[in-house]
């Protein structure tokens, strides 16, 4: 294989059998359970990397079921998103993500810088309740519940929230262990179709774990629970701040 052939083929690892295909990445019937809660503002401020700014001491804990996604297949994801402000624009900083499929773990980390780790999240309907359970190994670290489809929500409001910018801290080390890439990345969800959105009574419990510290952002008050079904495309990212540029 010549050097030019290497460059032509090299978009992901391993070279001869990449862990994921090139995008775009379309998600059909993507289902969210989002429990928004108030947390400790001093602790939250320590988690947000500058130049992002904290808005309110709020965390969105998300369980996401993805049964039909281009290249990534069928998987479930869970994690914490923090509302932030960047250059006057409000968006969400993806703080932590846990999922059960190698392909989107590799693709998410390598392309955008999603903070993904291997775990075992579940999102399902049980009688009159939609529930999300996140396990790291055999240990449950998050349990969220919401009354199933109690009140419909306006699609315009949900579309606006899903269309807002999202931010990631992309970190890739050099071969000697030093940081080679350290960037703030912005991305958007695109071509969004809201198929349904509902609100209901919600609850969430977080449990401490040394390697999956979701409970480091403690629950002080549950604000809302939202259940969404949508189709969307995960847009590619843009570097908006390079920490190593100076």
Which residues form the catalytic set?
116
H/E stretch holding 42 reads helix 41-47
In 10 A of CB 122, how many CB atoms? 14
Strands 238-242 and 179-187: antiparallel
Alpha carbons 104 and 108: distance in angstroms, whole number: 5
SS (H, E, C) 149-168: CCEECCHHHHHHHHHCCEEE
Pairing label, strands 179-187, 221-234 = unpaired
- Mention every residue, 6+ apart, whose C-beta is less than 8 A from residue 4: none
Name the nearest CA neighbour of 78 among 41, 116, 106.
116
Phi, psi of 219 (to 5 degrees): -85, 115
Spatial separation of the C-alpha atoms in residues 126 and 229, rounded to whole Å: 17
Mode of pairing for the β-strands spanning 139-147 and 120-126: unpaired
Sign, Cα dihedral of 140, 143, 123, 163: negative
Query: Between β-strands 116-118 and 89-99, what pairing exists: parallel, antiparallel or unpaired?
Result: parallel
């Amino acid at each position: 294989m010549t050097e030019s052939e290497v460059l032509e083929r090299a978009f992901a690892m391993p070279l001869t059998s990449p862990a994921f295909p090139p995008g775009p990445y379309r998600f059909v019937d993507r289902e969210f359970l989002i429990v928004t809660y108030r947390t400790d503002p001093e602790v939250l401020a320590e988690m947000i990397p500058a130049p992002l700014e904290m808005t309110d001491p709020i965390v969105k804990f998300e369980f996401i079921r993805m049964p039909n996604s281009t290249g990534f297949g069928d998987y479930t994801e869970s994690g914490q998103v923090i509302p932030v402000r960047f250059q006057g624009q409000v968006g969400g900083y993806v703080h932590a993500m846990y999922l059960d499929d190698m392909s989107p773990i590799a693709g998410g980390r390598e392309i955008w810088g999603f903070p993904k780790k291997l775990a075992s999240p579940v999102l399902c309907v049980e009688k009159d309740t939609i529930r999300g359970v996140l396990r790291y190994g055999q240990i449950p670290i998050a349990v969220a519940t919401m009354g199933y489809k109690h009140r419909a929500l306006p699609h315009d409001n949900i579309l606006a929230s899903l269309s807002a910018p999202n931010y990631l801290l992309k970190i890739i080390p050099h071969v000697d262990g030093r940081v080679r890439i350290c960037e703030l990345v912005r991305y958007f969800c695109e071509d969004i179709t809201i198929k349904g959105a509902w609100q209901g009574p919600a609850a969430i419990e977080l449990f401490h774990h040394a390697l999956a510290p979701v409970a480091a952002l403690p629950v002080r008050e549950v604000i809302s629970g939202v259940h969404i079904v949508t189709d969307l495309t995960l847009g590619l990212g843009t570097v908006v701040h390079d920490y190593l540029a100076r």
